[in-house]
Amino acid sequence: MPSKTTLLVCLVVATLIVHSQPQAPTKVKKDRIELQFALDKGGTPWYSVFFNDKEAIRNSSLGFSLDSDSLFYKNFTLVSQERRSIDETWQPVWGEVSIIRNSYEELVIHLRHNSGKLLDIDFRVYSDGVGFRYKFPKQRGLRYFIIKDEFTQFRLTGDHKTFWIPGDFDTNEYSYTTSKISEVDARPVVIAATDIAVRTVRDSFSVQTPLMMKSADGLYINIHEAALLDYPAMQLHVDRTNFILSSNLVPDAYNNKAYLRAPARTPWRTIIVSDKATDILASRMILNLNDPSVIQNPSWIKPMKFAGVWWEMQTGKSTWNYSDFPDSTDDKGQLIPNERHGANTANVKRYIDFAAKNHIGGVLVEGWNVGWEDWFGNWKENVFDFVTPYPDFDVKAITDYAKAKGVKMIMHNETSGSATNYERQMDTAFRFMKKFGYPAVKTGYVGRIIPRGEHHDGQWMVSHYERVLKKGVQYQIMVDVHEPTRPTGLQRTYPNFMACEAARGNEYHAFSNGNNPDHETILPFTRLMGGPMDFTPGIFKLKGYVTYAPQRSVHSTLTKQLALYVTLYSPLQMVADLPENYAAKPDAFQFIKDVPVDWDDTRILEAEPGDYVTIARKEKGRDNWFLGAITDENARTSVVKLDFLTKGKSYRATIYADADGADWKSNPEAYTIRKITVDSTSRLELRLAPGGGTAVSFIAIE
């Protein structure tokens, strides 16, 4: 379905010209949220945000340093301001809900700098927060220009509890630290994170967004951005003494931040505020601030679960590389096979069989194309060519086999960080996918970026990711990006942007010491605020799965792995474990077979960042519901009302729960399954083990 926008109300409320400075603040209110805006005596713009008449963001200044004007943050006068109210709805192509309401009060500020240059600021006040962006109108005296720095402040009202990862230019794959604002210090975290290949942190007191905070008096505040296009990612520098966050844009080789041409606009800076944590997760503000879909007919975009020849490489059972010797060949000039290559035709067919049997839509295969012998960590320009398979990977035969079985193949294009190499060959790569009927691609950016001097989160790479999405639109290919900058709701504009990584996924349980048990309770409040994550849930063998490091364990119980299919939303959701590990537990696997990846409705039943999340979702187009509940390292019991179920209807509930004595550390695979009949008046007690979770399917009884 195309995302259809219905404009219900659109009226310009006021246009007034104010020349005298300073002025009383302009106030815009929407339900419990109020925005105030004014210029101070020096002509610096500032804003503040109130929740229930209580300050949430104190008066915070706005502005820039431009290449042509280092003082583009003061000496402004107000030219005029406009207001309007919008209340519209639209339908996403896929998502957590089938209809999204976009209702806000808009305030557009037109400023003139004493240099003569013009600057606009758009504020949109929602019932759950505020978004604003800068606009550089078309004007004389400002055409091509460089953002040297953006000076956007978010002044906090106190020393909030914060869930943060370091402000790294090249990765979002850190574990979260929970601390007070005054305790933020990225340095020790970065030094300790030896399991992350490329780390680039210049400011120990910068953190990534989405940044989740909680005030001492119980206010939840989330700061992020929306519609990050043609601009670097915004990180936040933390003033630990005065509790001021300020924008820190990811630079290029010249320490420039963005190259723009007027008319231009920045991404939206977003502040979501509520006294209920569940409201944060239910917010659609970031999606709403993105532009409508560019895809006229998105019928080729189909959410799906997928299996993959992948976890077996992560865990050491097989290899991405065909040979153990990078450029050594045998008598016949052929690479010498190591006999452990995962992406061989027979093994891939085994996964296709597995997917077909269990109604899993797709199969991803990594390590299929030549170059994996020395792809990693060499910062080399020419890595892969994206079209040449290893000799034991028969593209045509696999394509035919998958087609006959009704399974879609997912292409894998690892760039190793050499984006220039990928851009040169992208057209050829996408033509190759089209030729062999691959409807989706997983791209990857492991390693230091080429162009050298650029970073994963800088403007050039942000535009690169968009170029890949556009190429996907051109060739009708869905895209799942690994190691990009974190998402900002672009899936509204590019609904073929199905998912990305940009956070610490389940894979860290394979090649490192893993994730904290509270990790998945923080992700929805941070990384997932911007869009779906390819987290790769569903690991069933939770101990002894890494051949070369048998002591490793997944820091989760088995039913928590099930619950993640509901709590961590993605329209491309991996069924990550090996087929044989699912075969050993067919009763638990039933939930993965049943759980959908596209929803009509979503209810955030309970949530507290770092502690627990319980979500119920209604299957797209059917009257079935699925519930996921997870907890951190602490056991948890709660009772949830099932009043989201259709009134008067009975449901067959299958409850996948931690067994007595289950524990993420000592006994992660103990689970129980029980079936009961419920309706909308029922209550369900959830008993979660330490590091545990519960998954429930509610199938309507017709």
Closer residue to a second copy, CB minimum distance, 466 or 594: 466
Q: Which of residues 284-303 bind a second copy (CB under 8 A)?
A: none
Closer residue to a second copy, CB minimum distance, 465 or 625: 465
Residue 423 interacting with a second copy (CB under 8 A): yes
Least distance CB 454 / a second copy (angstroms): 7
| Other beta carbons within 10 Å of 14 | 11
Closer residue to a second copy, CB minimum distance, 464 or 620: 464
Among 12, 144, 300, 666, binds a second copy (CB under 8 A): 144
Select the span of 108-116, 422-430, 436-444, 484-492 touching a second copy (CB under 8 A). Answer: 422-430
Give the span between the Cα atoms of 599 and 285, in whole angstroms: 18
Helix (H) or strand (E) holding 403: helix 395-405
Residue 457 interacting with a second copy (CB under 8 A): no
Residue 359 interacting with a second copy (CB under 8 A): no
For tokens 């062999």, what's the residue? 436
Give the span between the Cα atoms of 676 and 595, in whole angstroms: 18
Select the span of 173-181, 353-361, 452-460, 591-599 touching a second copy (CB under 8 A). Answer: 452-460
Q: Which of residues 361-380 bind a second copy (CB under 8 A)?
A: 374, 378-380
Select the span of 168-176, 236-244, 251-259, 543-551 touching a second copy (CB under 8 A). Answer: 251-259
Give the span between the Cα atoms of 367 and 623, in whole angstroms: 40
Helices (H) and strands (E) in the chain, counts: 13, 37
Residue 381 interacting with a second copy (CB under 8 A): yes
Least distance CB 490 / a second copy (angstroms): 19
Closer residue to a second copy, CB minimum distance, 82 or 374: 374
Select the span of 48-56, 81-89, 447-455, 621-629 touching a second copy (CB under 8 A). Answer: 447-455
As beta bridge partners, residue 442 has: 412, 480
Provide the token pair at 421. 């190499």
438: Cβ contacts below 8 Å, ≥ 6 apart: 408, 409, 410, 411, 477
Residue 143 interacting with a second copy (CB under 8 A): yes
Select the span of 4-12, 41-49, 254-262, 598-606 touching a second copy (CB under 8 A). Answer: 254-262
What is the DSSP code string of 63-132? -EEETTBTTTTSSEEEEEEEEEEEEEEE--SSSS-S-EEEEEEEEEEEEEETTS-EEEEEEEEETTEEEE
Q: Is 606 a catalytic residue?
A: no
Give the residue ranges of DSSP H helices in 442-575.
459-475, 508-511, 519-522, 558-567
Site size for a second copy, by CB under 8 A?
29
Give the span between the Cα atoms of 103 and 269, in whole angstroms: 17
Give the span between the Cα atoms of 591 and 674, in whole angstroms: 12
Which of 315, 372, 374, 305 lies closest to 343 in space, CA to CA? 372
Pairs from 374-380 (Cβ < 8 Å, separation ≥ 24): 374/326, 374/327, 375/320, 375/414, 375/416, 376/197, 376/416, 376/446, 376/447, 377/197, 377/447, 378/416, 378/447, 379/417, 379/447, 379/448, 379/450, 379/452, 380/416, 380/418
Closer residue to a second copy, CB minimum distance, 380 or 403: 380
Among 106, 454, 520, 658, binds a second copy (CB under 8 A): 454
Least distance CB 386 / a second copy (angstroms): 14
Select the span of 281-289, 419-427, 668-676, 688-696 touching a second copy (CB under 8 A). Answer: 419-427
Residue 195 interacting with a second copy (CB under 8 A): no
Residue 452 interacting with a second copy (CB under 8 A): yes
Least distance CB 78 / a second copy (angstroms): 27
Residue 338 interacting with a second copy (CB under 8 A): no
Annotated catalytic residue: which of 105, 507, 520, 619? 507
Residue 463 interacting with a second copy (CB under 8 A): yes
Which of 368, 445, 360 lies closest to 405 in space, CA to CA? 360
C-beta of residue 607 within 8 angstroms of C-beta of residue 277: yes
Closer residue to a second copy, CB minimum distance, 462 or 539: 462
Question: Would you please indicate which residues are annotated as catalytic (active-site) residues?
Answer: 507
The site for a second copy (CB under 8 A) is made up of: 138, 143-144, 252-254, 256, 259, 261, 326-327, 374, 378-381, 420, 423-424, 426-427, 450-454, 460, 463, 467
